Amino acid sequence: MKKTLIYALIIVILAILGLLCYVIYSNIQGGKEIDMGDKKILIAYYSYNGNTRAVAEKIQNLTNGDLFEIKPKKEYSKDYNEVVSLAEEEKQKDIRPELVDNGNVKDYDIIFVGTPVWWYTMAGPVKTFLSKNDFSGKIIVPFCTHGGGGASATYTDMQNLAKGATVTEGYTTYEDSAKESEIRAWINKLKL
């Protein structure tokens, strides 16, 4: 009788330990969505080489928001050096390239906006996206990937273009080094 009780106790303790491990593991390792309440989430991004797209997809997995790829009507050349000089000209002349689709932020409360850093600020297509939509009263959650120079003026320039929006702290990462755990911690910290 005593033995049976001890066995039962051991089984209960093991079950509780197993459950505890599972909860800790799923919180650390991710895979679990962040509860965003009933807020409507859009994740809009432009990516030339895929680094920013990878971050956008991680955010989408965590928030279950809608993904929107910002695409210029005229695709940038595959030649990196050509893009670098064209982007410099776009920046100097404040050219905002036409988009395939300007998108629509009307139905969303929170809009994640992602860009590679181009010449110390956001890429031209993202400028177009911000200037073609009305962001009054919206929350913009910015993120960017860069090649070593950091976000530079990206987030302040976003705030200047999206008048009336609240621009939160951004997630800034080098090339393709984004980690889901970092992104999760950043979103949780924002308490959206």
Sites of contact with ligand FMN (CB under 6 A): 47-53, 83-84, 87, 116-120, 145-149, 175
CB of 78 to ligand FMN, least distance (A): 11
CB of 28 to ligand FMN, least distance (A): 26
CB atoms within 10 A of CB 70: 26
- Helical H runs in the chain? 2-29, 51-63, 80-92, 124-132, 154-161, 180-190
Residue closer to ligand FMN (CB basis): 51 or 63:
51
CB of 159 to ligand FMN, least distance (A): 18
Beta carbon of residue 117, minimum distance to ligand FMN (angstroms, whole number): 4
Contact 62, 30 (CB under 8 A): yes
> What 3-state DSSP class applies to 71?
coil
The structure tokens 């910015």 sit at: 142
- Taking the complex as a whole, the smallest distance from the CB of residue 100 to ligand FMN amounts, in Å, to 17
Cα–Cα distance, 133 to 65 (Å, whole number): 18
Q: Cβ closer to ligand FMN: 103 or 116?
A: 116
SS3 107: coil
**Residue 77 or residue 188: which is nearer to ligand FMN going by CB?**
77
HEC string of 49-62 equals CCHHHHHHHHHHHH
